[in-house]
Homo-oligomer: A and B are copies of this chain.
Amino acid sequence: MPPTPTAKPAFLFDLDGTLIDSVYEHVLAWREALREMQIELSTWRIHRRVGMSDGLMVTALQRETGRKLTKEETERLKRLHSEAFLKRVAQVRPLPGARELLSTLSRLSVPWAIATSGVEERAREAVKILDVGPEVQLITRNDVAHGKPFPDLFLAGAKRLKVDINDCIVVGDSIWDLLAARRARALGVGLLCGGYGQDELVQAGAYRVYEDPVELTRHIDELGVQADL
């Protein structure tokens, strides 16, 4: 009997905090938006929520502050966050090794896509700094009914790549990525470069945790990719 064939894996990347160094900008943009609406929340609590869909984030913030927002207030908060983030986007850099990781995968013909809870316009703008060209497979909040930690974004990514989700490796910096990966039945890999602690990522189900894209690339054999690095 021949051995069970194992498909080559495909990669689904989160964007903020995974490929680009933008988490701290998002944290301060949310804080600015919240203060604009007279809502005070500790900065670290906002940090722990970045990476969720904006809608779920607002729900979580409401629970933590005990203040209920109307639909109009919620929309205003999201808009204020987007504006405050765009003011800071010029400060955002690619994370070390992100560009090289993506070009290595492309060279090895390993399929990959980017799946972010962010909205299309903001994500297109942010992806530019990765120099990946307009042909990049980008799945955003606009393509799905629910953001992370729902599995929708990663399921849509697998579909876009025409790869079984079971053969996909999800790479993300936040527990929301890892929870979404588990719900999607993909393998989740954590990165520390979004500023979360290692234990939070392991507890959320990370198969492996690396510091950043540089370290992931150096250990890519552990994820089943035969690279000639």
Binding site for B on A (CB under 8 A): 21, 23-24, 27-28, 40, 42-44, 47, 93, 95-96, 192-200, 212
* A44→B197 contact, CB < 8 A: no
Chain A contact residues: over half helix, strand or loop, or mixed? helix
* A43→B28 contact, CB < 8 A: no
* B195→A47 contact, CB < 8 A: yes
Chain B: which residue is nearest A41 at the CB level? B96
* A24→B21 contact, CB < 8 A: no
| Inter-chain pairs besides A24-B27, A42-B96, A44-B194, 5 sampled, C-beta below 8 Å | A21-B42, A21-B43, A24-B43, A24-B47, A44-B195
Q: Nearest 7 A-B pairs (CB), nearest first?
A: A197-B197, A199-B199, A44-B195, A24-B43, A44-B193, A21-B43, A47-B195
Chain B: which residue is nearest A48 at the CB level? B195
Known: A28-B28, A197-B200. A95 touches B42 (CB 8 A): yes
**A-B residue pairs in contact (CB < 8 Å), sample of 16:** A21-B43, A21-B44, A23-B44, A24-B24, A24-B27, A24-B28, A28-B28, A42-B95, A42-B193, A43-B195, A44-B193, A44-B195, A196-B197, A197-B197, A197-B198, A197-B199
* A23→B42 contact, CB < 8 A: no
Pick from A28, A40, A194, A196 the residue with the most CB of B within 10 Å. Answer: A28
